[in-house]
Amino acid sequence: MNFFRDFSIPPLAIMASFKVAIIAHYYDPRNIALTLH
């Protein structure tokens, strides 16, 4: 039941999701080209 445990601590869940989104953005080759422009 990781969903309920994460749901009870929104700040940590939000921070984790933001970190994953940032990492996925900067390590995606398609987005690297967009970032360099």
What is the 3-class SS of 5-16, one letter each residue? HHHHCHHHHHHH
Residue whose C-alpha is closest to residue 22's, from 14, 12, 7: 14
pLDDT at 16: 86
- Is pTM, for the whole model, over 0.75? no
Residue 15: predicted pLDDT: 84
Structure tokens at 18: 């933001």
Question: How high is the pLDDT of residue 25?
Answer: 74
Summarised one tens digit per residue, pLDDT across range 1-37 is: 566 665 566 777 788 888 888 887 777 777 666 666 5
| pLDDT reported for residue 7 | 59
